[in-house]
Amino acid sequence: MMTWTIADSSCCPARGLCVGIISKSFQAIVISCALEDQKKIKRGKLETLLRNVENAEKTSRSLDHKNLQQ
């Protein structure tokens, strides 16, 4: 029960509404994990975008090559 109270209090966005103990170290860990997750998501989206651009370029070159042969 104590761990849940600490977790719940640490994640509370408005300090005035928090009840119980606030663990600064737990709160810092949660925030840092959220930032790392955001970085991973952004990195993944960027990698997908770059792959899509590369594939589009390859397709475009292939179509250009076929059009030149005709």
| C-alpha torsion angle, residues 42, 45, 47, 52 (rounded to 10) | -160
**pTM recorded for the entire structure:** 0.51
Q: How large is the average pLDDT for residues 18-29?
A: 72
Q: How large is the average pLDDT for residues 34-53?
A: 91
Query: How far, in Å, CA of 16 to CA of 12, rounded?
Result: 9
pLDDT at residue 7, as a whole number: 54
Q: Where are the alpha helices (DSSP H) in 1-70?
A: 2-10, 24-69
Confidence of residue 23 (pLDDT cuts 50, 70, 90): confident
